[in-house]
């Protein structure tokens, strides 16, 4: 895949220095697309000083108030996290992530999502992601600086990209992972139908939907598969009426 199709998404960042340092780290590793979701600080002198010349990345940043629109065009959304979750999400090492990206199609768009300095990503944010990447660290001192985590992942991706020759064949677009917006459209449809047939409890749709999300996000649904799955939902709705 193309490095310029990978976006770094920083959610709720509070220190402008981390945003500047992230821009520098990205530029060092040939990434250029920075998206800030609900930033909690101004992007001014401090950020530009730490960017150390990577000004274009800061100038061209995209800003969103929420994660959903930030990743809408991405067919692979990767959450980064140090914390272990009660409901485990499929987890990659940085090297496995880099291998995965190398093998992806040139037109694919990917988001790497980084959470808040102190509290990381919310569970509902993680549940928008296909997979999670976890940087191995000292279990006694595991909290990486935010920009350092971005540096490590960008480095892994760049260095892997760099030692792999590009391959040729392009699969049909409908057999590639669908963008997040289409996958979310499927989840909405699925929840509606499962409520209507009484499989989900109106009061408590949560845990079952979480597990279904995890299953389908892990699978990286293609457009063709979403069409089939939504066709099934429509057939169920017809039987019901």
Q: Which residues bind its own copies (CB under 8 A)?
A: 21, 24-25, 27-30, 52-54, 88, 93-95, 135-138, 141-145, 147-148, 151-152, 155, 158-159, 162, 171, 175, 194, 197-199, 208, 211-212, 215-216, 218-219, 221, 224-225, 228, 231-232, 235-236, 238-240
Element (H, E) at 77: strand 76-80
Least distance CB 19 / its own copies (angstroms): 14
Q: Sign of the CA dihedral 16, 78, 221, 210?
A: negative
115-120 contact pairs (CB < 8 A, 24+): 115/11, 115/12, 115/79, 115/80, 115/81, 116/11, 116/12, 116/13, 116/14, 117/13, 117/14, 117/15, 117/18, 117/146, 118/14, 120/81, 120/82, 120/83
Least distance CB 44 / its own copies (angstroms): 18
Least distance CB 42 / its own copies (angstroms): 20
Least distance CB 35 / its own copies (angstroms): 20
Angle at 225 between CA 77 and CA 128, to 5 degrees: 25
The residue (of 173 and 228) whose beta carbon lies closer to its own copies is: 228
Least distance CB 66 / its own copies (angstroms): 28
Question: CA of 61: how far to CAs of 9, 26, 55, 113, 199, in Å?
Answer: 10, 12, 10, 15, 43
The residue (of 54 and 70) whose beta carbon lies closer to its own copies is: 54
The residue (of 72 and 95) whose beta carbon lies closer to its own copies is: 95
The residue (of 65 and 162) whose beta carbon lies closer to its own copies is: 162
The residue (of 14 and 145) whose beta carbon lies closer to its own copies is: 145
């Amino acid at each position: 895949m193309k490095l310029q199709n990978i976006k770094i998404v920083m959610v709720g960042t509070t220190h402008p220095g981390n945003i500047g340092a992230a821009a520098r780290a990205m530029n060092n590793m040939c990434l250029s697309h920075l998206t800030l979701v609900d930033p909690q600080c101004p992007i001014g002198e401090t950020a530009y000083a730490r960017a150390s010349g990577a000004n274009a990345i800061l100038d061209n940043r995209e800003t969103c108030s929420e994660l959903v629109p930030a990743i809408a065009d991405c067919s692979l959304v990767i959450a980064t996290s140090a914390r272990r979750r009660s409901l485990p999400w499929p987890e990659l090492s940085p090297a496995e992530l880099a291998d995965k990206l190398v093998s992806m199609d040139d037109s694919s768009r990917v988001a790497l999502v980084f959470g808040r300095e102190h509290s990381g990503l919310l569970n509902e944010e993680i549940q928008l992601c296909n997979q999670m990447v976890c940087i191995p660290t000292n279990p006694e001192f595991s909290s990486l600086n935010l920009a350092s985590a971005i540096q490590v992942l960008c480095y892994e991706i760049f260095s892997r990209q760099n030692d792999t020759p590009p391959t040729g064949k392009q699969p049909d677009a409908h057999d590639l992972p669908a963008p997040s917006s289409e996958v979310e459209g499927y989840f909405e449809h699925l929840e509606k139908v499962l409520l209507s047939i009484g499989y989900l409890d109106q009061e408590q749709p949560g845990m079952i939907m979480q597990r279904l999300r995890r299953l389908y996000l892990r699978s990286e649904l293609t457009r063709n598969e979403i069409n089939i799955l939504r066709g099934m939902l429509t057939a169920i709705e017809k039987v019901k009426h």
